[in-house]
Structure 1
Amino acid sequence: MTLFFHVRCMRLGDTQVSEQTMAASSETALRQTLASQGWTVLSVKAVKPVAAAPSARSQFALFCRELSTLIQAGMSVVEAVDTLSARERLSGRANGLAAELLERLQHGMSLSNALEQLPQAPAVLVAAVRAGERTSDLAQSLSDYLKFDTLVEQLRRKVISASIYPALVTSLGVGISLFLLLVVMPNFARMYTNLRGGSSGATAGMMALSQWVAQHQIVTFSGVAFVVACIAWWVWRGAARRHGLALASRIPWMRRRMDDFQLAMMYQALALMLRGGYPMTEALVVASRSALQARTATALAQALARIEQGGAVAPSLAGAGLCDEVGRRLMAAAERNGDFYLAADVVSRMHGERFELFVERLTRVVEPVLLMLVALMVGSIVVMMYLPVFDMATRLG
C-alpha cells in the first residue's frame, strides 16, 4: 500500500530546507530512500493524498505554457507572472497560482524557490525551472517540462479512454439486470401466484426470488442504493485505483506493463534534468520524485547508491531492474559519448510505446469478452424469468 508523507529535508551544504510531499510504502522506507540519496531528514508527517492532484498538475502545465509564451515575447519573469496574476484578478480568482507566485517573487525569492513552497508543485517542474535559472534559458526549460507533462498525460489518457467503453458496457448491463430484477420481475411474480402444483429447479428458484422481491421492494431498493453509494464512495476516494493497482502488481505480465508506464515517466524526467545541466546523481534524485510508485522509487534509490559509490550508470540501472538489455546498451553507449539526454529520451519513448501497445491489445481482448459476459448475464435473467411461463404452458397442455 502506498502512503503519502510531508517531508522536510536538506542536503549538506544547502542553505534552504526542502519541503515536499512524497509517496512510499512506509515512513521507514522513505527515510532509508532519502538517506541513500544524501538527504538529511528533519521531519516526516503522514498526510492524506490530495484528491485534486490531476487538476493541479493541469493547472501547473497551463501556467508553464502561458509563462513560456510571455517570456519568449520579451517579458521578464516578474512581468510575466504579474501579467498572469492580473488576468486572474480580472477573472475573479484573487488567490490563484500566479498571485501566490507573484507575492513570493516580490519578496526576493527566485521562481524555483517560489514554486518549491507550493505544496502541489511537481518536483520535476521545480528542478526544470531551477535548471533554466542556471542556464538563463527559462523558456526552454519550461518547454522541456511541458514535453514531460505531455508524455505523462498522454499515457494517462490512453488508459482512461480505453476504460470508458468497458465501463459503459458494464454499467448498461448492470442497469438492465437491476431493472429486470426490481421492476419486471415483481410483475411476473404476481402472475406466478396463480400457478398451482409444485415446481423444481430454476423455475422454483426464480419464482421464490420474484415473490420475495415483490414483497420486499423497499428493502431491495434500499440495499441496491446502499451498494451503489458504497461503490461511488470507493471510486471517489481513489481506493478503487489503489486496489486495482495492487491487484495488477500481483500479476507478473501486468506488473511488467505497469513498470513500462513508470519507467517512461522516470526516463523522461531524467532526460529533462540532464538536458538542463544536472549531473547524473542529482538528475536521478529528481526523477525519483516524478510520481513513481514506492517499488520503482526504491529500485532507483538502489541504483543511485551504486552510482555514488563509483559504479557505472548502465550496470547500476540494469542491476536495479530499471532497464532491459536494449536500455542497458543505450545507456552504456551514452556513457561513452556523453549523450545521456538522448539515450534517456529514447528509452522513455520505448517504454511509452510498449505501454500504449499493451493498452490497445488489452482493449481489443477485453471489449468482446465483456460484451459476451454482459449478454450472458442479461440473457440468463430473461430466460429464467420465462421458464415458469413455459412450465405453466406445459401444465395447461
Structure 2
Amino acid sequence: MLRFSFNAVDGEGKQQKGYLDAENEARVVEHLRAQGFFPVEIREDKTGRQSVTANTRLRGKKKIPLADLRDFTKSFGFLLSSGVDIPTSLKLLVDTGESAKSPLVQAIERSIDRIRKGESLSASLLKADIEFPGFYISMLKAGELVGDLAQSAKLLSDYLDLTVKNREKIKSALIYPAILSAVAFSTLIFFCIFVIPSFRPFLETSGAELPFFTEIFLWIGDVMSNYGMYLLVFIMALILISIRFFATPRGKEVLSTFLLGLPVIGRLIEKSEIARFCRTTGALLHGGLPLLEAVTNACDVVQSTSLRLKLSSAKEELRRGRKFSDILIKLGGMPNIVIELTKVGEATGRLAYLLQDTAGLIEEDVQRKAERLTSLLGPGITVVIGLGIGLFVISVILAIYSANDAIFL
C-alpha cells in the first residue's frame, strides 16, 4: 500500500491534515468523502510519517451504536413507505427521539435544513459530525439514484437488525463463562491470601518439609499479600496500554492476525467476516449499486485487516473485467458454497439474492458451531475450577500430614 498526505475540509470549513495508507489516490478521495471531508490536496508521501489506514475513521468523528442506527433506519423506512417526504420523516424522528442530546438525533436535526435546500440525504449525512458506515451511505445513495429510498432503508434496517442480534447472541453466550471465570479466580486468590497462610505458623513450628504444591500456594499468597497493590496497578496499566495499542491500525492488524491463527475460533471468525462481506455486497447490489462499487464498500465492513486487504485485491480484478466467481477462487480460503452460489448468481442474474442467501447459510453454520463451543466452555471452566480447588485441598491435607508426621516422629 502507498502512503498519501492529505489536506481536506469538513462541512463547516474546518481544516483536517493527515496521512492515509491506501492502494491509490482514488481510494484516499473515496475514504475522505465517506467521512464527510472534502479533499483539497492529496500527495504521495515518502517521509515515513505515521498514518492511518483507509478504513480508519478520522479524528473528530463519533461512532454511532448500531442498535441506535438500526432503530432510526427502521422508523425512517416505515415513514417513507407510508408516503411521508424525507424532511418531514426526519423531523418526526427528531421530535419523537428519546434523547434530544444524542449525537444521532443532533446530526439528523442539522441535516434537515440542508435537505430542504436541495441537498441529498446521503450527501447531508456525509457532512455530519458523527460517522455513518460507508456501506450505509452507499446504500442510501443507491436508493436515491434508483428512486426507491424506502426500499434501501428497509434493506439497511434488516441488515443492521441481523448484525445487532448476532452480536447480542455472542455477548449473551459469553456472560456465564466470564462470571464463572471471575468467581473461580477470585476464590483461588482468596484461598492463597487468607486461608493457606493461616496454616503457616503450625507448619513452621512442626519443622516438616512442605509438599511442592503447598509451597507454591504459600508463595502466591506471599506475593499477593506483599505486592498485591503493585500487581493491581501493573495489570490495570497493562490493560490500558493494550486497549490503546489495539485501537491503532497496527494493533488491530496484530490482534486480527492472532485471532485468525487460533484453531477452530480463527476459522469461525473468518467465516463470520466472509458472511458479513457477502451480505453487504448482496444488499448493495440489491440497492442498485454496480458490482465494483458494492465490493468496494463491502470491504469496509470487514474488521479483519488481513482478510480485508485480501478482499480489496478483488476490486482491481473486477476493473479488469474478470468474473467475480473466478476472483473468489483465486483469493483462496473461500467456502465452496460462496464460490458455487456466486457462479449460479452470475449465470442467472440473481447474484444479489444468492449472496445474501449464502451469507445466511454461513451465519447459521457459524452460529451453530459457536453455540456448541460456548456450551462446552461452561463445563470446561467448571472442570478447571474443580481441579484448582481439589489441588488446593490436597496441598493443605498433605501439609497437615507432613506436619503431624514430623511432630510424632
TM-score (norm 1): 0.80
**Change in CA separation of 1:154 and 1:260 when aligned onto 2, cut-off 3 Å:** farther
Q: 1:391 to 1:7 in 2, by over 3 A?
A: farther
Where do 5+ consecutive residues of structure 1 fail to align? 10-15, 17-25
Alignment of 1:353-392 (within 5 A): 353-392=364-403
1:205 pairs with one of 200, 215, 220: 215
The counterpart of 2:233, out of the listed 218, 222, 226, is 226
Contact 2:302 2:308 in 1 (8 A): no
State the match for 1:23 in structure 2: none
Pick closer, same or farther for the CA change 1:7–1:121 going to 2, 3 Å: farther
Equivalent residue, structure 1, for 2:65: 56
Which residue in the other structure is 1:166 paired with? 177
Code of the residue aligned with 1:394 in structure 2: it is D
The Cα shift of 1:100 comes to 3.0
**Offset, 1:79:** 0.7
In structure 2, list runs of 5 or more residues that go unmatched.
12-18, 33-38, 44-50
Partner of 1:12: none
Matched, 1:179 2:179: no
Query: Shift of residue 112 of structure 1?
Result: 0.7
Tell me what 1:337 maps to.
348
Opposite residue 347 of structure 1, the aligned amino acid is T
Q: State the 1:288 CA deviation.
A: 1.4
Match of 2:112 among 98, 102, 106: 102
Which residue in the other structure is 1:283 paired with?
294
SS of aligned partner of 1:96? helix
Once the two structures are superposed, residues 118-164 of structure 1 have per-residue CA deviations (whole angstroms, 9 ceiling, x without a partner) of 34101111111112212222221111011221232233233322322
**Conserved 8 A contact 1:189-1:211:** no
Contact 1:141 1:276 in 2 (8 A): yes
Structure 2 CA distance for partners of 1:281 and 1:36, relative to 1, 3 Å: farther
Pick from 31, 34, 38 the counterpart of residue 23 of structure 2: 31
Aligned partners of 1:211, 1:265: CA distance in 2, in Å? Answer: 48
Shift in Å, 1:76: 0.9
Cα deviation digits, residues 161-198 of structure 1 (max 9, x gap): 232222111111100011111222332334444x2324
Compute the displacement of 1:89 (Å): 9.1
- CA contact 1:132–1:140 (8 Å) conserved in 2: yes
Cα deviations by residue, 1:213-249 (Å, 9 ceiling, x for unpaired): 6xx83x3331343255346536765849956543222
Using the TM superposition, give the Cα deviation of residue 206 of structure 1 relative to its aligned residue in structure 2, in angstroms.
5.4
CA deviation after TM superposition for structure 1 residue 275, in Å: 0.9
> One-letter code of the match for 1:359?
A
Which has the bigger relative contact order, CA under 8 A and spacing at least 6? 1
Identity level (%): 17
Instruction: Give the secondary structure class of the aligned counterpart of 1:109.
Output: coil
Q: Per the alignment, do residues 282 and 209 of structure 1 end up closer, same or farther by CA in structure 2, a change over 3 Å counting?
A: closer
**What amino acid is the match of 1:74?**
G
Q: Work out the CA distance in 2 between the residues paired with 1:121 and 1:39.
A: 12
**C-alpha separation between the residues in 2 aligned to 1:303 and 1:383?**
60
TM-score by length of 2: 0.78
Give the letter for the 1:220 counterpart.
Y
Q: 1:267 to 1:207 in 2, by over 3 A?
A: closer
Do 1:203 and 1:384's aligned partners in 2 also have CA atoms closer than 8 Å?
yes
Letter in 2 for 1:311: R
SS of the residue corresponding to residue 288 of structure 1 reads helix
Say which is worse superposed, 147-156 or 176-185, in terms of deviation.
147-156
What is the alpha-carbon root mean square deviation over aligned residues? 3.7
- Given the superposition, is the C-alpha separation of residues 69 and 237 from structure 1 closer, same or farther in structure 2, using an over 3 Å criterion? farther
Number of equivalences: 373
Report what 2:46 is aligned to: none
Distance 2:383 2:370 in 1: 20
Change in Cα spacing, 1:276 to 1:345, as seen in structure 2 (3 Å) is same
Range with greater deviation from structure 2 (171-180 or 369-378)? 369-378
Aligned residue for 1:108, secondary structure, equals coil
CA contact (8 A) 1:36 1:305 kept: no
For residue 272 of structure 1, the aligned residue among 283, 287, 312 is 283
